[in-house]
Amino acid sequence: MLLSTTDDDVLSAAKELGEELTQTQSEATESEFEEILVQCNEAISEGIGIQYDDACDAGGCC
């Protein structure tokens, strides 16, 4: 997966992901949705090379 280089592309992709997660949340159990969020965070971290929980300083609970 290639990351976009413009702010508009990044914001558009984030909005699309948010919309898809909202739809998934309405269709999944709480534990299923939590696992999906963990997988998304791991994929984002791999893609950008920054650990999400380190960036938000949440001690592993983002």
SS3 5: coil
Q: In terms of Cα–Cα distance, which of 40, 1, 33 is closest to 17?
A: 40
pTM reported for the whole predicted model: 0.64
Cβ neighbors of 17 (< 8 A, separation 6 or more) are 40
pLDDT tens, residue by residue, 18-50: 999 999 999 999 999 999 999 988 888 887 777
Domain coordinates of the chain in residue numbers? 7-55
Contact 52, 62 (CB under 8 A): yes
pLDDT band at 55 (very low <50, low <70, confident <90, very high): low
C-alpha–C-alpha distance, residues 7 and 35, integer Å:
28
